[in-house]
């Protein structure tokens, strides 16, 4: 899920979610600076882009795509137009097309942090993990105050096999997000890959304030005090897609950490295929399922 605002003609992704609480990731001031620095488009291109943004905001993606495409033709040097077109392809889950449009926006304005954030996320969804990290690093270079907030970078590090780097990213994130079981789990997963499960259990970050179901049970499982049955029972009792999605995602990751390949596949595939998870952690499940399919 993305929390967006329509400000000065640009869709601004200010916050990203994967934990039930909003995590600040983009500074509005930096985006306003980008808007101000962009060459002013002609009247026709400007109007097309505004209408495309209205369509994007209202969920009229097909119309918005037509308008954004016309805007890029009228103003091929307008980074914002290519960015908006990229966001529309992102919404359609057309990762290659989204990346191509973000490429154009990045070439036209290499100091636009939001472009690198979106392109990094799309590279992750496409399975380009090293490219994802590179874009997130560029985003952080442009907005260094956001470095500890960037849990997405840590996840990309895990899938790229950069486990020590991922561990450090999640330790940094803990300083700005202290009540997040998911952060503790990803730190555990990176630590397991880098130094073994006993070391990971010994350094498991304690979490007390995450009230989402079934996060308490997930944390207990990774700590060696709980069970998969506890996780599933809590999720079933809560009802709804999200508790069951997170239960299966983290059971799959737990079994991967403990070396049970069959149960890893069972739970990751359920998380990826059986629940509506239209947010970044849903993307993580779908990416993980694709990775498992490729190594079958």
Reference 177, options 27, 21, 2; nearest CA is 21
CA-based R_g, the chain, Å: 20
On whether the 2-148 domain is CATH 3.40.50.970, my answer is: no
Which whole number is the average pLDDT over 10-19?
34
Q: How far is the C-alpha of 224 from the C-alpha of 211, rounded, in Å?
A: 20
Question: What is the torsion angle, in degrees rounded to the nearest 10, for the CA atoms of residue 218, residue 221, residue 225 and residue 230?
Answer: 70
Cβ atoms of 108 and 132 within 8 Å: the answer is no
pLDDT over threshold 60, residue 229? yes
pLDDT of residue 49: 80
CA distances (Å), 256 to each of 236, 260, 263, in order?
22, 6, 8
Express each pLDDT in 97-136 by its tens digit: 999 999 999 999 999 999 999 999 999 999 999 999 999 9
Handedness of CA 52, 55, 57, 59 (dihedral sign): negative
pLDDT of residue 42: 54
Reference 200, options 221, 215, 216, 214; nearest CA is 221
296: confidence class by pLDDT, cuts 50, 70, 90: low
pLDDT over threshold 50, residue 32? no
Q: How far is the C-alpha of 227 from the C-alpha of 218, rounded, in Å?
A: 8
Express each pLDDT in 40-96 by its tens digit: 445 566 788 888 877 777 878 888 899 899 989 989 999 989 998 999 999 999 999
CA distances (Å), 58 to each of 10, 46, 55, 61, 84, in order?
14, 18, 5, 8, 14
Express each pLDDT in 235-290 by its tens digit: 999 999 999 999 999 999 999 999 999 999 999 999 999 998 999 999 999 999 99
Three-state secondary structure call for residue 277: coil
Express each pLDDT in 146-158 by its tens digit: 999 999 999 999 9
Q: Is-cis flag, bond preceding 74, omega within 30?
A: no
pLDDT of residue 52: 83
CATH of 211-294, one of 2.30.29, 1.25.40, 1.10.101, 1.10.3470: 1.25.40
Which whole number is the average pLDDT over 197-218?
96
pLDDT of residue 18: 33
Express each pLDDT in 181-207 by its tens digit: 999 999 999 999 999 999 999 999 999
Reference 84, options 141, 126, 108, 142; nearest CA is 108
Which DSSP symbol is given to 50?
H
- Provide CATH 1.25.40.10 ranges for the chain: 2-148
């Amino acid at each position: 899920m993305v929390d967006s605002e329509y400000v000065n003609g640009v869709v601004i992704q200010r916050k990203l979610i994967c934990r039930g609480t909003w995590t600040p990731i983009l500074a509005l001031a930096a985006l306003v600076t980008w808007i101000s620095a962009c060459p002013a488009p002609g009247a026709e291109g400007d109007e097309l882009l505004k209408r495309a943004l209205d369509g994007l905001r209202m969920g009229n993606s097909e119309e918005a795509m037509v308008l954004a495409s016309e805007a890029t033709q009228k103003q091929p040097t307008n980074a914002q137009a290519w960015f908006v077109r990229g966001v529309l392809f992102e919404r359609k889950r057309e990762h290659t097309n989204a990346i191509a449009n973000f490429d154009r926006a990045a070439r036209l304005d290499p100091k636009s942090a939001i472009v690198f954030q979106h392109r990094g996320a799309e590279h992750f969804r496409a399975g380009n993990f090293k490219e994802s990290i590179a874009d997130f690093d560029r985003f952080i270079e442009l907005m260094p105050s956001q470095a500890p907030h960037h849990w997405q970078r840590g996840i990309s590090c895990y899938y790229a096999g950069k486990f020590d780097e991922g561990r450090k990213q999640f330790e940094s994130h803990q300083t700005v997000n202290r009540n997040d079981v998911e952060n503790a789990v990803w730190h555990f997963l990176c630590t397991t890959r880098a130094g073994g499960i006993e070391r990971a259990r010994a350094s498991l970050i304690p979490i007390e304030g995450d009230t989402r179901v079934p996060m308490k049970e997930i944390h207990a499982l990774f700590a060696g005090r709980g069970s998969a049955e506890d996780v599933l029972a809590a999720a079933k009792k809560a009802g709804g897609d999200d508790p069951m999605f997170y239960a299966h995602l983290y059971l799959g990751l737990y079994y991967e950490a403990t070396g049970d390949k069959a149960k890893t596949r069972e739970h990751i595939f359920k998380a990826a295929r059986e629940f509506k998870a239209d947010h970044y952690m849903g993307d993580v499940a779908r990416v993980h399922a694709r990775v498992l399919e490729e190594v079958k």
